[in-house]
Amino acid sequence: MTIAITDVVLRDAHQSLFATRLRLDDMLPIAAQLDDVGYGSLECWGGATFDACIRFLGEDPWLRLRELKKAMPKTPLQMLLRGQNLLGYRHYADDVVERFVERAVKNGMDVFRVFDAMNDPRNMKAALQAVRSHGAHAQGTLSYTTSPAHTLQTWLDLTEQLLETGVDSIAIKDMSGILTPMAAYELVSEIKKRYDVRLHLHCHATTG
């Protein structure tokens, strides 16, 4: 078994801690050191960064991606992609999804963590298929939550649907910081028992 670590300081960290306001000039001085660590991947793009670059920072998000790729050539770069919503706040047509993914790969993206806030695999399908068709790593996502409707079987069924769509790995995304150690153990164990798939666990410490 291989264990790899994804560093999120250039994307999720500053998105969660100070509203995605880290500039490219803040990132580049530390990029070489991050590249030398040996991370499995570096999450540095996607999520709210695209919007924040344009709306608040006056930066070109595509230039940011190219410059980070140039500064960190040894480590796979990773992004968070909102499925059919791409990096916006509405659904886009399949051809727009395909073209966006193609451009992201061309500009240096290696790993795409594709999620849908409703955990609807139909909203992840076009993006995941586009990622694989362009030779990048397609990671399907379980956006973890708890409710009477969200049982262990819910997550097993979604895992199977994502595998049928075609993914290279599955992420369990605990974006609310509510996944307990026991629940994580049960979920990971049951997925591994049933499916031969790489798993990634992403947790937030919402309370600090």
pLDDT at 144: 97
173 and 115 in contact (C-beta within 8 Å)?
yes
Which residues in the chain show pLDDT less than 50? none
The distance of Cα 88 from the centroid of its chain, to the nearest Å, equals 15
C-alpha closest to that of 75 among 157, 174, 4: 4
Q: Which domains does the chain have, with CATH numbers?
A: 6-203 (3.20.20.70)
What is the CB neighbour count within 10 angstroms for residue 63? Answer: 12
- DSSP H or E segment with residue 199: strand 198-203
